[in-house]
Each structure stands twice: as C-alpha cells, then as structure tokens.
Amino acid sequence: MDSVGLYIHIPYCLHKCGYCDFNSHPENASERERYVPALIEEIRHYAPRLKDRRVETIFFGGGTPTTLPAGDQIRILKACRRYFDVADDAEITTEANPSTVETENLKCLRAAEINRLSVGVQSFDSDELKTLDRVHSVKEIHQTVERARRAGFDNLSLDLMFALPGQSKVRWQDNLEQAIAKNPEHLSAYNLTIEPGTAFHKLHEAGALTLPSEDFQLELYQYSIKRLAEAGYEHYEISNFSKPGYESRHNILYWENGDYLGLGAGASSYLDGVRFKNFNTPAHYIDRVKSDGHAVQTEEALDARRAMGETLMLGLRLKRGVSIPKFEQRFQVPFDKVFGSVVERLREQELVSVHGDHLALSTRGLYLADSVILEFIE
C-alpha cells in the first residue's frame, strides 16, 4: 500500500508577526466554529481518493494550531482516523507557540496520540523577541518545554531564527546553548529572510530594518552546524538538526517529493503528479467546502521534466542529497541524460558533490541552496 502524508492548516493566530508570510488570520471565534466542521467535511470528501493509501504522517500547521481548543484538534484527528487508513506508528505533529499552550491541553493532545510537538521559540532573548514582533516571553518558552515534557511528549522540536537585525555572534551562541540545554529531540535554525508583503519588507524597503552581511550570516550558520554536531545533533537538512532517529518524517516526505494531501484554508497538495491548492481565506474556504465538499482553487498536472526538476529542488535540501538510482527508477531515464551538464558545472564551482550513488550539496552549496537549486528547474 502506497504511503501519503496529511497536512492540516489551522489559519488562526493571536498576532501576525512582522516577518511572517504564511496564510494566517486573526482569531475569530464564530468563524472558527464553522471552520472545524468544514475541515471534517473536507476530510470525508477525500476518503475515496485515499482509500488505497496509508497515512504515515499528519502535521497540524498554521497559523497556530494550538489556538484551537484541544478538543477541536482531537475531533479533526478522529475524523482522519475514521476516513483514512492511519498507520499505527504514524508521526503526528502539532505546531505550537509558547503563549498558546497549557499543561492540561497538552496532556489531552498527547493522550489523543499526537506524538510530536514543534514549538516556535525563535529566540531565548527578550529583546530579540521584541524585534521579531513575537507575543510570547522567554519565561513562557521555559514553561512550554516543561509542560510538554510533563504531558508526555518525548519528541520535541524547537524552532530558532538567526541573522536578526543587530544580532551579535555571542547572542546567537547563547540562543543555541539555551536550546541545547532544553535537550529537544529536534532543532530547526532558520536565517531571517525578508518576504514580500510582510511588515518587515516595508521596513526594509524604507531603510528602517537592516540584516547582517551575507558573510556574517554564513559565519553564524557554520557555527550552528559545528556546535549542534558537538551536542549530538545530526545536520540532516539545510535548516534542520535532530538526534538519531528523530528526523521529521513529515518534512522528509516533502523533501523526497512524496505524495501528501493538504487540508484547510490555503493548503497545498501533491497527489499522483498533480499539484492543487485551496482558497486562502477561511471564510471562502468554508463556503466552498459547504457547497462542493472541497475548496480547490488551482490545479496543475506536472509534466515529466517539471517533476524531475522539483524532485532535485526538494531532495537537495537533504544533507544526504538525492538518490540517483531512485531518481532513475522513478522517471525511467538516465540521470546524466537530464542533468549531467548542470551537475558538472556545479561540481566545478564546488557547490555539489557525488557520494556513492547520491548527489548532494557541498557545505558551501547548502548555504547557497536557493540559487544552486534553481539551476535544476530553469
């Protein structure tokens, strides 16, 4: 039986952070009461589509999923189990922000077999949290980790951000040390990027917000890789580190260009070579599900060349890179025939390397991944 992942989008947030370009919306209690039944109806709608698939991973993302009462997340999860074949050992993750979790809620989620918690820490420094426009405090971060452990979560991931405006190397080192001291099974370290349409973008355009130089960003990134390796974390993806056996199975499914179904407002899917995306606004999503059973706005079937390029684009994010034999088996074409010249050019620039039967980014290539990966899809 072929495997598939589920992504479930909860679009509500207490506050839209200045750097955020995700599909997030202010809390709306009356709308939320209609949103959860719509999600359950959408799940029911896709039951025939996934009848021969086994769900190996479920990921509640947002927004902030824990703005929902725990009972609502549990209702959604029960619907997944009712309508889909969810594996007994499925990885089931919920994102959470430190200002939105209490011990009893976490205990309820853990009892419902949500077995992985991903916490949006971003920084252990109060001034940096203000810079990032976050609504939680450092104290709440410590409380959230403690509550998660008390609730029984033994697979905990913490998100951090580096290369912030005015951030020194010492401050970033302190952030890393505090995160390591929490002993999470997984850590993500993202460098701050300015995305169009965000509040930070407006400030950046006006000259009111300046990021560190690229050289300094690279220095912080390289330090992170070294320090986290010393602390026992494997660098398995550009921005992700884990203790052995605790890689994010759901995200690996994305990076290996596997099939997944996205549910909820703005959620994207990739099934059987077709990409499709739901309407963004929760109200529009709810209305479309009510009338049609689904809320698909756009749909695109990928031709073979596009699918090959995306497989490389996603797979090269992994430290181990892309398996050349698996690529050739999937697409029934010699790898060198499609990408031989591109690989040779990038090898000469020391941006990629071939180890055994895998093509991977070099250390330098990892930091320049976005521009390197474009070479395979243009």
CA-based radius of gyration for the chain: 21
Predicted local distance difference test score (pLDDT) of residue 296: 99
Predicted local distance difference test score (pLDDT) of residue 368: 87
- CATH topology of 2-255 equal to that of 305-374? no
CA distances from 265 to 26, 62, 94, 159, 297 (A): 14, 10, 17, 23, 10
Predicted local distance difference test score (pLDDT) of residue 1: 83
pTM attached to this predicted model: 0.96
Nearest CA to 192 among 159, 225, 161, 224?
161
Question: What is the average pLDDT value for the chain, to the nearest integer?
Answer: 96
Average pLDDT over residues 145-164: 98
> Tell me: the pLDDT tens digits for 286-311?
999 999 999 999 999 999 999 999 99
CA atoms of 251 and 270, how far apart (whole Å):
13
Predicted local distance difference test score (pLDDT) of residue 27: 87
CA atoms of 326 and 254, how far apart (whole Å):
16
The token pair that represents 192 in the structure block:
């701050």
> Tell me: the pLDDT tens digits for 92-127?
999 999 988 999 999 999 999 999 999 999 999 999
The DSSP secondary-structure symbol of 99 reads G
Longest dimension (CA), the chain: 58
CATH class of 2-255: alpha beta
Work out the percent of the chain whose per-residue pLDDT is above 70: 100
Predicted local distance difference test score (pLDDT) of residue 28: 87
- Calculate ∠ Cα 218-219-222, nearest 5°: 80
| Domain made up of 305-374: CATH architecture | Orthogonal Bundle (1.10)
- Helices 304-315 and 324-331 pack at an angle, to 10 degrees, of 160
Q: Is it the case that residue 229 has pLDDT exceeding 80?
A: yes
Predicted local distance difference test score (pLDDT) of residue 29: 87
CA atoms of 117 and 121, how far apart (whole Å):
12
Q: Where are the domains of the chain?
A: 2-255, 305-374
CA atoms of 98 and 120, how far apart (whole Å):
7
